Amino acid sequence: MDTFKAIATRRSIRRFTKDPLPREVVERILAATVQAPSAKNYQPWRFVVLEGEHHDRLATMMLEAATSLKAQGVNIGSLEGTARAMLGAPLTVVVFNTAPPPEVPAEAHDDWHWVMAQSTGGAIQTMLLAAQALGVGSLWICDILYVSSAVREWLGHPHDPIVAAVTLGYADEAPKPRPRRPWQEVTEWWSAD
Ligand SMILES: Cc1cc2nc3c(=O)[nH]c(=O)nc-3n(C[C@H](O)[C@H](O)[C@H](O)COP(=O)(O)O)c2cc1C
């Protein structure tokens, strides 16, 4: 698929078919993902692919967190809807941002994490477009952050911040394009003349 077509046709998918994703399709998506640029080519991303009961466990953790937080009167935003959307899908990739390299002084660690967050963001967008090019639907998920410490422990990455999760699967819906402000409205152009 042409890049512009993949960009134009990608949507956040929140209803997936039960069909499993063939492993080779997921591998192609991951192989494309790691082609993303990153600061100093540090490639700070780490991925954990959760399928089957592991995927369902993550969605259930999020659903349970939604129930408990709601009972405490906490505003949970889209958490519950996201968890329900995930439950119908075959697979989720959890995206970690690895800790700063040892040569970065401790006082610069926060800044470095911001830089690395940009790199992981680029990787996630690459993942979404690669999935789209292969006819696979995707949902970029930050609601995983409601359960991030529990997930970090569970997946054996206690010290790596979670950036997001991406649920992948075959779409069982065809959403219309969501609105965007035109580029002219969000761009200042200081031309030479
Ligand atoms: C950083 C980030 C976090 C997001 N987190 C969630 C999420 O937790 N749950 C969800 O349903 N959608 C999430 N989305 C999807 C957005 O809601 C979606 O991209 C936006 O509404 C535009 O729709 P579109 O992707 O179909 O163009 C997230 C998107 C981004 C970029």
Write a three-state SS string for the chain: CCHHHHHHHCCECCCECCCCCCHHHHHHHHHHHCCCCCHHHCCCEEEEEEEHHHHHHHHHHHHHHHHHHHHCCCCCCCHHHHHHHHHCCCEEEEEEECCCCCCCCHHHHHHHHHHHHHHHHHHHHHHHHHHHHCCCEEEEECHHHHHHHHHHHHCCCCCCCEEEEEEEECECCCCCCCCCCCHHHHCCCCCCC
Q: What is the pLDDT at residue 111? A: 85
191 in any annotated domain: no
Quick check: is 128 in a domain?
A: yes
Residue nearest to atom 17 of ligand 1 (CA): 12
Q: Considering only CA atoms, which of 154, 40, 136 is closest in space to residue 96?
A: 154
- Domain limits at 79? 3-173
User: Is 88 domain-assigned?
Assistant: yes
Query: Quick check: is 182 in a domain?
Result: no
Q: Is 181 in the pocket of ligand 1 (CB under 6 A)?
A: no
User: How far, in Å, CA of 134 to CA of 56, rounded?
Assistant: 24
In a domain, 179, yes or no: no
CA distance 105 to 112: 10
Mutate to test the pocket of ligand 1, among 63, 141, 181 (most ligand atoms within 8 A of CB): 141
Domain assignment of residue 45, yes or no: yes
Residue 168 lies in a domain: yes
Q: What is the atom index within ligand 1 of the atom nearest the CA of 175? A: 26
144 CB near ligand 1 (under 6 Å): no
Kindly give the confidence (pLDDT) of every residue in the chain, 193 residues in length, as a single tens digit, with 9 standing for 90 and above: 799 999 999 999 999 998 999 999 999 999 999 999 999 899 999 999 999 999 999 999 999 999 999 999 999 999 999 999 999 999 999 999 997 777 788 888 888 888 889 999 999 999 999 999 999 999 999 999 999 999 999 999 999 999 999 999 999 999 999 999 999 999 999 999 8
Residue 61, judged by CB atoms within 10 A of its CB (0-12, 13-18, 19+), counts as middle
pTM: 0.96
Cα-to-centroid distance, 95 and ligand 1 (Å): 15
Q: What is the CATH number of the domain that holds 82?
A: 3.40.109.10
Instruction: Tell me how many domains the chain contains.
Output: 1
Distance 42 CA to ligand 1 centre (A): 26
- Which residues are within 8 A (CB) of 98 and not within 5 positions of it... i.e. 6 or more apart? 44, 45, 46, 116, 160
Ligand 1 near 154 CB (within 6 A): no
Nearest CA residue ID for atom 20, ligand 1:
12
Residue 143 CB less than 6 A away from ligand 1: yes
Q: Is residue 180 part of a domain?
A: no
The CB of 140 under 6 Å from ligand 1? The reply is yes
